[in-house]
Structure 1
Amino acid sequence: MDCIQQTNIGGTNDGHCQLRLVDFEGHINHISHETLGLSRKHLVVRRGKPFKLTLRFHGRSWNPHSEGLVLEVWLGSLSERIPVQFSDTQPNPQHWSANIHPGSVHSESVTIYICSPVRSSVALYNLLLHKETRQSRSTYAVGSFVLLCNPWLKDDPVYMPQEDQRQEYIKSDYGVVFMGTNLNVCQRPWSFGQYEPGVLEACLKLLEVSPQHLNDKTRDYILRADPAYLSRVVCAMVNCNDDLGILLGKWQGSYESGVNPTEWGGSADILRRWVSSNFSPVRYGQCWVFASVLCTVMRVLGIPSRVVTVFNAAHDTDANSSIEEFYSSTGEKLNLSKDSIWNFHVWVECWMRRPDLSAAFDGWQVVDPTPQEKSAGIFCCGPCPVAAVQQRCLRAPFDTPFIFASVDADVIRLIVRNGQVVGRTVDTERVGKVIYTKGIGSDSPENLTPAYKMKKRAQPVCTARNFSYCRSAVVSSCQTAEIASSPEEPAPGLEVSLKIKGKQSWGESIWMSVTVTNNLGHSRVLVEHLNAQIKEYNRSPQESFWEMHKEVHIQPHQTLTLQHTIPASEYESVLAAQNIVNLAVVIKDEQTKERVMHAQEFNISSPQISMEIEGGDSLHIYKEHTVQVYFTNNLTKTLDGAVLTVEGSGLLKGKHEARLAHLNQGKKIEKTVSIMASSLGTKILMATFSHSNSPTVMSRSYHKVTITA
């Protein structure tokens, strides 16, 4: 702390009372403001809540009767003077204040309680102190502090009433991302890492290099008081499509020039790489990586956030709220549609009030940083009120039609033969089949589907004409319309359904049943076509790896259940552990040529890697612990070129490998490593197993550990 300016006004400065030291009372303030561990460099406090600093003098003691104290806060070119007053009354949360409580003045020190307005901007502030007499003024650079949103304060737009929610959605540095398919949900842990060194500073730097800040610093500083504005800025900056953003997306091809998105386990490494590279994009991200990094930044800024997975998320490119899928007459899915359905898609929900709308749309807001479509000219999406999606108020900002289609579009399946459509089915239940987030204080999923979707029936639809009713929260006044766009059709002569039995595990046969119903009063000769294709979660299937054709005789009004099996040997050589199977059945009436179909997509659980930690899963900081990692080959064949890899951000430096030329059936490959954490919080150990018989990683496992003082 240096004296940077001393001004004499009409007299001399006696110099007997000089400011020697400013104590920011970091530990006490950080505990009081729920910011302990966020930064080792800055005082971090929350808006609308007083924090204290202590001034220490040398020479004679400070005389409050002849020497006034004035604080001055600076944010860019914006500043405000705050006279220091003697008062122990509750500060007005709408204005800056600086108070000295009775008993806080001592012979060589004074403690000041500073409170910011509850709608202050999120930023790094600079603080000056002026010591003024009638004859002179001395000005000191006191230092800087970081101001964050305050979900503990009722007047803050991000106020969250329940303490267990605040602990989960603000303070927790550990999350779970749900992946796979709705038939076999997988989960992977994620370390948000907000207490890792440099993470808070990276989040502040993200705001400083955003286009909004670079184009107009003053306007950006003012607007940062609004969590909706902050969420749009951060959302666009997490991807690098329009700016100096953090992550470059890549969904196919080689990842050799960067990191395969499946290898990331936390946000801290990504944010630090971005800063250290002078804001070059980190390679590479996919939806769960984009979402998890966004969740980290929002939690750091003080906005409650959670990662959400939509299973069977529609990507509606033509904005008609329907997805067309094309199949051959033998059940092979064809890549003919620009629309698509991802088996899972991950975005973020942020908690805030929406004064631009109405109280009906306060609460959780969808913010999706994966670059898909532009919103107001930039690649971001949201904040979109979850309530607006459920109530079909599609004109509510921002990007509600796109989010609505993601969770509630209809799927139209068309059977094509020789360029002609020979069969058509509509599935109103597939999209948004289930929507999950991590439960509070638990790794189990919380089902959010009812918050997004009403049952398919007459529902309110907000149009340009009636949107004003939704703004007034009179949702019942919105027009009602049937979702079905076509008149009711007669019952089909044939019905078919396909069911996968149980959760499929690697190395086991795939069991399925096909149920066929003849609704007519005469017997029929049918042909059953079954087709299985490999696909990745976000793309169309590749060529078929298994198919079956069979003639079936069915009696009048009879229901038949047909059992089928795909042996493991049929998929082990072509299917990677993270791939998904698209399975379709087409039933054809040989006489009438009527065709009906059904399809299911499912994933196969990969073999597990075991990790055993000396001393359990709660570890002491700065203490070494031994971890035993091993993989057992339970398949029916020898795996050549076996590689077991272990890594963990904040626990291990680099990757540690074990290799075997041949891993025989029933044998195991193992690796022992020593881990040590240098920061508190939850850390993730990740292990992968691969072999030369497969082009990709066969198995990936995670283990979370809690680091305590």
Structure 2
Amino acid sequence: MEDLRIRHVNLEQSENLEHHRTKGFSTSKALVVRRGSPFRVTVQLEGRPFNPKTDSLRIKVMLGPLCVFMPVTFSRTAASSRWTACFDPEGSNPLKPSIFISSPASASVGCYRFQLCVFTQSGQRSGALGTFTLLCNPWCSEDAVYIPFEDQREEYVQRDSGLLFMGTAMNLVSRPWSFDQFEPGVLESCLNLLQVSPQHQGNGRLDYLNRSSPAYISRVVSAMINCEDDRGVLKGNWSGDFKQGVTPSMWTGSGDILRQWAQSGCSPVKYGQCWVFAAVMCTVMRVLGIPCRVVTNFNSAHDTNGNLVIEEYYSKTGQKLNYGKDSIWNFHVWVECWMSRPDLGSGMDGWQVLDPTPQERSGGVFCCGPAPVRAIKNQRMDLFYDVPFVYAEVNADVHTIILEQGQVVHVEKDTERVGSLICTKAVGFPRLQNITGDYKHIKSPTSTLTSRSSTVSDDSTLRRGGSKGMLVVLVVDKSPVAGEPVGFTIKVTNKENVAKKVKVHLNAQAKEYNHSPSDPFWELHSVLQLAPMEVKVLRQQILPAQYEDVLGDNLINLAVVLEDMAGQERVLASEEFNMTSPQLSIHVAAKDSIILKKEQTATVTFTNTFSHPVSGVLTVAGSGLIQDKVQFRMPSLHPGRRAEQRIMLLPSMVGVKMLQASLSLSNNTTIRGFKMVSVNRE
């Protein structure tokens, strides 16, 4: 009689992907499972039936040079701290036994090989090889990334699209982003990122061992998203010259970036800025099974000397000056990852700040975190990693200084401006969630409005300036809209019982979110007479023709300086704001009955609200809705006219998906829009 041999091993891919909530990775050739939960394989034997009294099955699991051997037993009791394998008692076919393989909840993340061998009484052995990819498991209570609410697991691990918040706290902009974690090639790119990291290249065995820790993994990924110290994914560029690559604001999702990086042999993709770095890191962490969300900090301080003070300089006429190494970014974007922190003791579990944007070195490389959010709020500067740096980003004081001929003539101190709003996308809804209170003890309550207009605080910038003799308040009348005049009000108060003759200096400067402004594009100077204790209100406008040349993704720094002509006393107030662009409208026909693998139509509409004709290129993308990006050229469109473009959808994945469109106009302005679409099986 022919002896027993293994003919084939069936990885039961469909069943395991369903059980491990990894169905989105079905385009990958490898079986993708989560640690801490068993997965089933079926062995096709030939020659004769398996006899448990005389035959045995053993499995060798390998991750690089690491390996573990385990016998296949009949006990279903899986030890959470070690690898085990057992027969499925319901798999009664002796020529086709099923085996459950269980990994520890702390197993290392990576691409595993396994060898299954059958040993017979005669001493003959027969083997078969297989592979699987093991990820973290936020559904397993013993995993360090366990998050106890299903809606949060759906949002922070499974959701493949989201919103990035940008602009200013006064006029917040929601930018759609496709995380693309289930798109072809993305899983492989994320796993390859771990393989080409300096940690793995330097000591592969130690790296594989350390991959059991989400804190370790997240720190490696934080460094690998930028390319400053390694073969990382993205090259940062804040120069304004993007001719050698893609302008950061043109990216709409992570998939294109990660695939380009992998296909180029790990050459850095050009170019990224903070929201691109953060969004790509969010994709990688969600792929690896670590809950992750993108966070925006408005008025984010970059404190280079660690004194928790940011100094900003203005000329005597209100022009903001590019002095000093410290800076305040109108917004800065990082990520938070959810994990326990046994290395820090009790109380530091939960959300951890990680920032892949290369700003300062940590441990010798450009990365940041994981810094527990609780440690930042409670000023635990002694804890790993980078808590003091993140604390300064949300809590530094601002000293605004007026200079004349190199001499300080006035100083304003503001303890509320930095970290004026910290937010992320709400769970399950396309709107803002205010999480400022997680980072700092809030002195004055703020009110969350909608995803298009956010928290408004009198201290969002230096709106109010005062001294012994004068007070000035600057307020932009409403959220500025491109194509409309920007109206603002200046309230001037004489606080003394003597008349004053005051010079009023006004100017507006264009600026990028993380830079000092360029030269003024608009200014106005006048003289004002104030009676004793008088209050005067001045109203001004900046017309569209005066600001249209500096639109694009720029912000505007508006400042007013009052100069007492008699006493030389000066006060300053300033406001930084962004212009709201018109939005693309997206309409999906029969939106309540979008069926998997059935064609559907969407229509993208743009109305020209500008005062001049515009033309441009429309790009439409939708992970799980259309296979690839599609582009259309829009001919010149006159003011007030409307253009429409029909898009064919062919949904390939069930769930809530994002259809997004962006129109790049000839005047360097980008118009965006998005629509959430629910895809059903039938």
Task: Flag whether TM exceeds 0.5 (same fold).
Answer: yes
Q: Does 1:123 align with 2:123?
A: no
Structure 1 stretch 20-29 or stretch 363-372: which is displaced more? 20-29
Please give the alpha-carbon distance, in whole angstroms, between the structure 2 residues aligned to 1:283 and 1:705. 31
2:64 matched to which residue of 1? Answer: 76
Query: 203, 206, 210: which is aligned to 2:193?
Result: 206
Q: Secondary structure at the match of 1:361?
A: coil
1:513 matched to which residue of 2? Answer: 489
Structure 1 stretch 212-221 or stretch 506-515: which is displaced more? 506-515
Q: Secondary structure at the match of 2:545?
A: helix
**Deviation string, structure 1 residues 251-309 (Cα, Å, up to 9, x no partner):** 23332332221111111121111111111111211111111110111011111100001
Number of equivalent positions: 656
Q: Does 1:609 align with 2:584?
A: yes
2:450 matched to which residue of 1? Answer: none
CA contact (8 A) 1:506 1:604 kept: yes
Please give the alpha-carbon distance, in whole angstroms, between the structure 2 residues aligned to 1:97 and 1:375. 39
Q: Does 1:437 align with 2:409?
A: no
1:313 matched to which residue of 2? Answer: 300
Q: Does 1:547 align with 2:523?
A: yes
Q: In structure 2, what residue type is equivalent to 1:333?
A: K
Please give the alpha-carbon distance, in whole angstroms, between the structure 2 residues aligned to 1:201 and 1:66. 41
Q: Secondary structure at the match of 1:136?
A: coil
- How far off its partner does 1:679 sit? 4.7
1:197 matched to which residue of 2? Answer: 184
**Deviation string, structure 1 residues 488-523 (Cα, Å, up to 9, x no partner):** xx9733222211112111111112122333333433
Query: 400, 417, 420: which is aligned to 2:387?
Result: 400
Please give the alpha-carbon distance, in whole angstroms, between the structure 1 residues aligned to 2:31 and 2:630. 35
Does the C-alpha gap of structure 1 residues 280 and 139 become closer, same or farther in structure 2, counting only changes over 3 Å?
farther
CA contact (8 A) 1:87 1:101 kept: no
Please give the alpha-carbon distance, in whole angstroms, between the structure 1 residues aligned to 2:634 and 2:179. 31
Please give the alpha-carbon distance, in whole angstroms, between the structure 2 residues aligned to 1:252 and 1:705. 37
- How far off its partner does 1:411 sit? 1.1
Q: In structure 2, what residue type is equivalent to 1:58?
A: E
Query: 672, 676, 679: which is aligned to 2:650?
Result: 676
2:673 matched to which residue of 1? Answer: 701
Query: 612, 617, 621: which is aligned to 1:648?
Result: 621
**Deviation string, structure 1 residues 209-260 (Cα, Å, up to 9, x no partner):** 1111111110000000000000011111111111111111112333233222
CA contact (8 A) 2:62 2:113 kept: yes
Q: Note the 1:8-407 alignment, pairs <5 A.
A: 15-39=2-26, 40-89=28-77, 91-407=78-394
Does the C-alpha gap of structure 1 residues 390 and 213 become closer, same or farther in structure 2, counting only changes over 3 Å?
same
- How far off its partner does 1:189 sit? 1.3
**Deviation string, structure 1 residues 640-665 (Cα, Å, up to 9, x no partner):** 5x22422325526455223434x322
- How far off its partner does 1:77 sit? 1.2
- How far off its partner does 1:327 sit? 0.6
Please give the alpha-carbon distance, in whole angstroms, between the structure 1 residues aligned to 2:29 and 2:566. 79
Q: In structure 2, what residue type is equivalent to 1:110?
A: P
Q: Secondary structure at the match of 1:302?
A: coil
Does the C-alpha gap of structure 1 residues 563 and 199 become closer, same or farther in structure 2, counting only changes over 3 Å?
same
Q: Secondary structure at the match of 2:516?
A: coil
1:630 matched to which residue of 2? Answer: 605
1:474 matched to which residue of 2? Answer: none
- How far off its partner does 1:456 sit? 6.3
Identity among equivalent pairs (%): 45
Query: 487, 495, 509: which is aligned to 1:533?
Result: 509
Please give the alpha-carbon distance, in whole angstroms, between the structure 1 residues aligned to 2:72 and 2:670. 65
Q: CA RMSD in A?
A: 2.1
Please give the alpha-carbon distance, in whole angstroms, between the structure 2 residues aligned to 1:646 and 1:707. 22
- How far off its partner does 1:100 sit? 2.0
So what's the TM-score if we normalise by structure 2?
0.92
Please give the alpha-carbon distance, in whole angstroms, between the structure 2 residues aligned to 1:672 and 1:512. 40
Structure 1, unaligned runs of 5 or more: 1-13, 458-489
CA contact (8 A) 1:372 1:379 kept: yes
Please give the alpha-carbon distance, in whole angstroms, between the structure 1 residues aligned to 2:96 and 2:629. 49
Please give the alpha-carbon distance, in whole angstroms, between the structure 1 residues aligned to 2:253 and 2:678. 14
CA contact (8 A) 1:365 1:386 kept: yes
**Deviation string, structure 1 residues 369-421 (Cα, Å, up to 9, x no partner):** 01111111111111111111111112211111211111111111110111111
- How far off its partner does 1:621 sit? 4.1
Q: Does 1:588 align with 2:563?
A: yes
Q: Secondary structure at the match of 2:361?
A: coil
CA contact (8 A) 2:4 2:120 kept: no
**Deviation string, structure 1 residues 329-348 (Cα, Å, up to 9, x no partner):** 11111111222111111100
Please give the alpha-carbon distance, in whole angstroms, between the structure 2 residues aligned to 1:491 and 1:123. 62
Q: In structure 1, what residue type is equivalent to 2:86?
A: N
Please give the alpha-carbon distance, in whole angstroms, between the structure 2 residues aligned to 1:27 and 1:180. 44
Q: In structure 2, what residue type is equivalent to 1:668?
A: R
- How far off its partner does 1:120 sit? 0.5
- How far off its partner does 1:707 sit? 4.3
CA contact (8 A) 1:266 1:649 kept: no
Please give the alpha-carbon distance, in whole angstroms, between the structure 1 residues aligned to 2:664 and 2:186. 30
Q: Secondary structure at the match of 1:502?
A: coil
Please give the alpha-carbon distance, in whole angstroms, between the structure 1 residues aligned to 2:194 and 2:83. 23
